[in-house]
Amino acid sequence: MSARVFDLGGYNWEGFTMATYKKPCIHCGEFVEGDSSFCPKCASSSPFSFHCPYCAKEIERGYAVCPNCGAQQQITKREGVQ
């Protein structure tokens, strides 16, 4: 007959605010805010994922070419190789 109504009015979400934990930039390793659009250290516009610079599609690290548009990607050489 009568549905129970949960009163959520005035519920305080303080303490449940979206975490702004830091994540390492995939390009330089610098820890930056998880919601950052740019890495402040290396100025990458995609600190947490690789994107094709031509079509902006997200691609896997180490791809030689973009699977979407076929553009050649810059391959970062492994650290330690001199």
Contact residues: Zn ion, CB under 5 A:
25, 27-28, 30, 39, 41-42, 44, 52, 54-55, 66, 68-69, 71
For residue 61, give every residue at least 6 positions away whose Cβ sits within 8 Å of its Cβ, in sequence order, or none: 26, 50
Residue 18 CB, nearest approach to Zn ion (Å): 22
- The separation between CA 55 and the C-alpha centre of its own chain, rounded to angstroms, equals 17
Our CB check for Zn ion shows the closer of 50 and 52 to be 52
Our CB check for Zn ion shows the closer of 16 and 70 to be 70
Residue 42 CB, nearest approach to Zn ion (Å): 3
Our CB check for Zn ion shows the closer of 2 and 67 to be 67
52 vs 4: CA distance, rounded Å:
51
Whole-Å CA distances, 14 to 10, 11, 23: 11, 9, 23
**Token reading at 52:** 């094709």
Residue 63 CB, nearest approach to Zn ion (Å): 10
